[in-house]
Chain A
Amino acid sequence: MRKDLTFLGREFLTWLWFKSEERNGTVALADGDVEVLFVQRIVLESGDGEYAETVVCNGRHCSLKEGKAALREGKRVKEARIRLSRETGEWEFTFKADRFHFQSLKLPRTAAEDEENDRDGRILERIFLLETAVSIMDKLFSLFLDRRLSPDWTAQELRRMKKWAMQDS
């Protein structure tokens, strides 16, 4: 039977929150930097099913303090509103860690959008922009997994994450 690795989704999103606050949220990927920002809403949870305990943080200011307090209790990020920025544009969406799902994804404004008639061009451009957002998240996950599996994980990344989670601002 396959090992259930679903927990990696929440670990990834928790790590991504930390990355969004380290180095101003800039993460270097093989195909260029991306800026990661957590906006408005973070949902943290511990346990499963009927034993689950959930904390929902809304708004810019409360989220840090309350969210970090929840982290210290062992909760992990289950869902968050994320903004990704690159020179080519800005994407905003709610990301659901357990299933790697996207919700209410806003795409960068396109040139083709202004031209009413070019229906095919508009659709293909939207699919391309959607693929870009998806591929950035996949690359961020690969980066996370690489770190997570490295022998340095505990001594380096995890140590910095703990320090970050202890800071209350």
Chain B
Amino acid sequence: MRYFSRDSDWKAIMGLLKGTLTFSRYRVAGDLPPDFPGFVNRQIRKYSFQDIARGVDEISMGWTSIENVLDTAFEYANYAQGDYLLFALRIDRRKVPASLLRIKTRQAEKEYLAETGQKRLYTDKRRDIKEAVRLELLSRSLPTPSLHDVCWCVSKKWLIFGTNSEGTAELFEKLFEQTFHLKLLPFRPWDPDNLDQAIEEKMASLERSMAIFPEKQGAS
């Protein structure tokens, strides 16, 4: 990941502003609420990225402006661009390295035994110690941020999101639905929703058998 001196140079994953683009496609399902522009303006700020300086959340996420990662106020509805809504999702992830967790847990167990004079630890106690150590380490670890562009064509009901990662896409879908009360359907051109009815009927007879050459079963 690269950092730049100016906020606006912080390059998002999809690269809507410059560079190459990596993205997934969606159809946006559901009816737009009345006073859609007003609704968007309220909701995008309500679910904008909140910086948590010190905490134990493994993930914090929210919307930011596409050009300036520090802009979560969206003044003058700067996400609106013609027929498109353009913004970005910032996800900050914290992670405790597994090896460090193991070492620190053993250390804490040893200290506990020494303090209490006990000979051995019960499973429950061992689990409690491990969780306490994990939370302590998590609160001290620095988050790794990532940015993903969103381009939403409202009139044509499609949207693209800057990732190919399933995990990140899931987080995005959830927050999008929570924010805008609309459902996102991953776009696959073979889904019935994207086909004429005549074609859809023919599809029923389609089998997994293009068989230029048949797949060798159980080949190793």
Residue numbers of A with Cβ under 8 A of B are 2-3, 5-9, 11, 14-15, 46-47, 53, 71-76, 93, 96, 99-107, 120, 122-124, 126-127, 130, 134, 138, 141-142, 145, 148-149, 158, 161-162, 165
The 7 closest A-B pairs by CB, nearest first: A74-B215, A5-B190, A105-B21, A11-B210, A104-B20, A8-B190, A149-B202
A-B contacts counted at CB < 8 A amount to 106
Among A9, A73, A142, which residue has its beta carbon within 8 angstroms of that of B188?
A9
Let me know if B17 is at the binding interface, CB within 8 A.
yes
Let me know if B120 is at the binding interface, CB within 8 A.
no
0 or 1 for each of B167-196: is its CB under 8 Å from A? (1 = yes): 000000000000000000011111110000
Among B17, B22, B206, B214, which residue has its beta carbon within 8 angstroms of that of A123?
B17
* A101 adjacent to B20 (CB under 8 Å): no
Q: How far is the CA of A97 from the CA of B40 in the complex (A)?
A: 33
* A158 adjacent to B21 (CB under 8 Å): no
* B202 adjacent to A124 (CB under 8 Å): no
Shortest Cβ distance from B21 into A: residue = A105
> What class of interface size applies to chain B in its complex with A?
35 or more
Among A2, A107, A134, A165, which residue has its beta carbon within 8 angstroms of that of B25?
A134
Let me know if B114 is at the binding interface, CB within 8 A.
no
Residue numbers of B with Cβ under 8 A of A are 16-17, 20-25, 81-82, 84, 86, 151, 160, 164, 186-192, 199, 202-204, 206, 208, 210-216, 219
Instruction: Give min CB distance, B121 to chain A, whole Å.
Output: 37
**With A8-B190, A9-B190, A46-B216 given, is the CB distance from A100 to B25 under 8 Å?**
yes
**Cβ of B16: which chain A residues have Cβ within 8 Å of it?**
123, 126-127
**Cβ of B24: which chain A residues have Cβ within 8 Å of it?**
99, 101
Q: How far is the CA of A74 from the CA of B7 in the complex (A)?
A: 50
**With A148-B206, A149-B202, A149-B203 given, is the CB distance from A162 to B21 under 8 Å?**
no
26 cross-chain CB contacts under 8 A: A5-B188, A8-B190, A14-B212, A71-B212, A74-B215, A74-B219, A96-B164, A99-B24, A100-B188, A100-B189, A101-B23, A101-B25, A102-B22, A103-B22, A103-B164, A104-B21, A104-B22, A105-B21, A105-B22, A120-B81, A123-B16, A123-B81, A123-B86, A124-B81, A158-B211, A165-B213
Q: How far is the CA of A122 from the CA of B18 in the complex (A)?
A: 9
**With A46-B219, A102-B22 given, is the CB distance from A141 to B189 under 8 Å?**
yes
